[in-house]
Structure 1
């Protein structure tokens, strides 16, 4: 397989390696197939979706480094290795890489939180706008009802005079 660049591509690779049908994956995780095709395949997968994948496929918990960062090789041979150790990871700075990985995860979570926070504020703004529009609509309907009542009253008055 060519260079896998996104979490979604790594998930699809995992499914292929485990001979899991995509339809089963979509059904079990509640995700849409369109998120894993075309341009959707290159977009980010939200942390809530990653958590759902990990809940449905707990074996991937042992492969977080590979899943999140795409570093190392997915090893499903039954061993407890998270990923195959690369030569450079045997160097004393291995602990730094682990710290960097944790910082990357922290940054990822902070970015996702910021996105959700922004979306939440946007939703609140939209809900506020909808509420204002509903009030204006109700006021307009009430105003139209008064006009209709006046018109009907005038029509009834004209009819009663003409009799």
Structure 2
């Protein structure tokens, strides 16, 4: 097997060896999948993200040297007392609450923007009417001036 070049690639190996789905990893750590695809896979993993991963997957603490440097072997001994990474009801409820709050916030922003657009449309309509009236009056005055000029010739 080729030497793994990045911390991100070693994380993917850890996930595979422990039967952890990538989607679960992304959800549990809050890290975007794009960090582990294409060019993102070759970029550095920030310390903040690494700390989040180690907090969510404490079993990696025993493998931190391997994770960061690639030296040594990945220990795959599983401690049954460690966090179960399955999707439990509490976690789902928390996520659903956050999604509900986010959707409510987006809906409120949408309503505010919709009202603002309606106000702006009404202002545009008023300005168009004023513009048309001003143009009409200007044309009327120009016609009067032209008529007087013709009459004085």
TM-score of the two chains, using structure 1 as the length reference: 0.47
Q: Which has the larger radius of gyration?
A: 2
TM-score scaled by length of structure 2: 0.50
Structure with greater contact order relative to length (CA < 8 Å, sep ≥ 6): 2
